[in-house]
Amino acid sequence: MSAITALFGEPTPAPDGSEVARALRQAASERILIMDGAMGTEIQTLGLTEEHFRGERFQGCECHLQGNNDLLTLTQPAAIEDIHYRYALAGADILETNTFSSTTIAQADYGMEDAVYELNRDGARLARRAGLRAQDKDGRRRFVAGALGPTNRTASISPDVNNPGYRAVSFDDLRLAYGQQLRGLIDGGTDIVLIETIFDTLNAKAAVFATLEVFAERGITLPVMISGTITDLSGRTLSGQTPTAFWYSLRHARPFSIGLNCALGANAMRPHLSELSGVADTLICAYPNAGLPNEFGAYDESPDEMAAQIAGFARDGLVNIVGGCCGSTPAHIKAIAEAVVGHVPRPGLQTPGLDTNTQARL
Ligand SMILES: [Zn+2]
């Protein structure tokens, strides 16, 4: 035994993501997994003022920060951790970090580009700590999903109707911003990479590219979840894809799951989810809004109403992972978790004909 080994023990390999992938795969083969619900709705109930958003750190800042929910990770961390913890106790297996807008591109609206690394690192730490506290209480492992949002710019659509060739953001701008975001999330200990609320598939492709780059740089591979959003009744994403086209555009990422979130509520999501479930050879994830927004921009669907619709997804074998998006609360997640207990996960974990790499990821 060398002197170094005697002092520090046998060297152990740095975590490469394989343990998380195995544990998640195992859990998903046993039951339908539960994602948490909306962060924004819960933050709204706290009635936070500009002073709260600034916290001590940004007290004298020449800026307007109210509404920058991600910044609360740094200025009101206890409040954000408490929301994660309440979702974990409500039954969530997967806790989404409060990092939906934590890219330099989205934070430019608030002049907070310099805080992006910390927003992501600490965002993952808060979710992790809440998950560990919940695990201490009930013995069940929680997984942290580092959320990469779509940003507020589209790479394949012009925001200027008079100049259809114009783009407010390029693939490389997005790739670099997502890469920076992901390094923070990984340093904070995220288990999963969640590319979500995709309305422009080209933005998502930049996120996938950045993810694979950072995985190579770090020598790790974490499970990747991908979730699109279909915002109108045409049944297409904003960049014009049907659910089938959306899947084939992103299948090369070999995601742990593909799915839909946000948009119009569970009933409106159902036909699109059904289509996706019919074509995708990976796990299916669905976390809709709590119904349609009303005239005040709030969501009216009760926990029982929402849970009944999602139980329908489970009963019909469409899903492996379910949760809630805008308007959902811990009460919604609790009702959803209870409603899907006993339903078997969507079959297809061992789909014949898949290549071995894809099979290994399922
Ligand atoms: Zn939403």
pLDDT at 338: 98
Q: How far is the CA of 264 from the centre of ligand 1 (A)?
A: 9
Domain membership flag for residue 3: no
CA angle, residues 235, 239, 242, in degrees to nearest 5: 35
Q: For residue 74, count other CB atoms closer than 10 A to its CB.
A: 18
Q: How far is the CA of 27 from the centre of ligand 1 (A)?
A: 25
Residue ranges of the chain with per-residue pLDDT less than 50: 350-362
Domain membership flag for residue 30: yes
Give Cβ neighbours of residue 98 (< 8 Å, ≥ 6 apart): 39, 69, 70, 72, 73, 80, 83, 84, 123, 126, 127, 147
| DSSP-based three-state secondary structure for 247 | helix
Structural domain tally of the chain? 1
**pLDDT tens, residue by residue, 102-123:** 999 999 999 999 999 999 999 9
Q: How far is the CA of 6 from the centre of ligand 1 (A)?
A: 53
Asked if 298 and 240 count as a contact pair (C-beta separation under 8 A), the reply is no
Give Cβ neighbours of residue 28 (< 8 Å, ≥ 6 apart): 283, 320, 321, 345, 349
pLDDT at 343: 96
Domain membership flag for residue 204: yes
Q: How far is the CA of 69 from the centre of ligand 1 (A)?
A: 14
Q: How far is the CA of 10 from the centre of ligand 1 (A)?
A: 47
Q: How far is the CA of 42 from the centre of ligand 1 (A)?
A: 13
Q: How far is the CA of 39 from the centre of ligand 1 (A)?
A: 10
Domain membership flag for residue 2: no
**pLDDT tens, residue by residue, 15-34:** 899 999 999 999 999 999 99
Sequence letter at residue 198: I
Q: How much of the chain, in percent, has pLDDT values that exceed 90?
A: 85
Domain membership flag for residue 5: no
pLDDT at 296: 84
Q: How far is the CA of 199 from the centre of ligand 1 (A)?
A: 12
Domain membership flag for residue 9: no
pLDDT at 274: 97
Q: How far is the CA of 279 from the centre of ligand 1 (A)?
A: 24
Q: How far is the CA of 100 from the centre of ligand 1 (A)?
A: 11
Q: How far is the CA of 145 from the centre of ligand 1 (A)?
A: 16
Q: How far is the CA of 341 from the centre of ligand 1 (A)?
A: 24
Q: How far is the CA of 46 from the centre of ligand 1 (A)?
A: 19
Give the whole-angstrom CA distance, residue 17 versus residue 287. Answer: 25
Q: How far is the CA of 262 from the centre of ligand 1 (A)?
A: 3
Domain membership flag for residue 186: yes
Q: How far is the CA of 283 from the centre of ligand 1 (A)?
A: 20
**pLDDT tens, residue by residue, 200-225:** 999 999 999 999 999 999 999 999 99
Domain membership flag for residue 1: no
Q: Is the pTM here over 0.85, yes or no?
A: yes
pLDDT at 136: 97
Q: How far is the CA of 253 from the centre of ligand 1 (A)?
A: 23
**Domain of 238, in residue numbers:** 14-361
Q: How far is the CA of 60 from the centre of ligand 1 (A)?
A: 32
- Output the six-digit token pair for 287: 């976390």
- CATH number for the domain that contains residue 43: 3.20.20.330
Asked if 131 and 142 count as a contact pair (C-beta separation under 8 A), the reply is yes
pLDDT at 21: 95
Q: How far is the CA of 226 from the centre of ligand 1 (A)?
A: 14
Q: How far is the CA of 186 from the centre of ligand 1 (A)?
A: 24
| Residues listed for the chain | 362
Assign residue 327 a region (left: φ > 0; alpha: ψ between -120 and 50; beta: otherwise). left
CA angle, residues 136, 13, 94, in degrees to nearest 5: 35
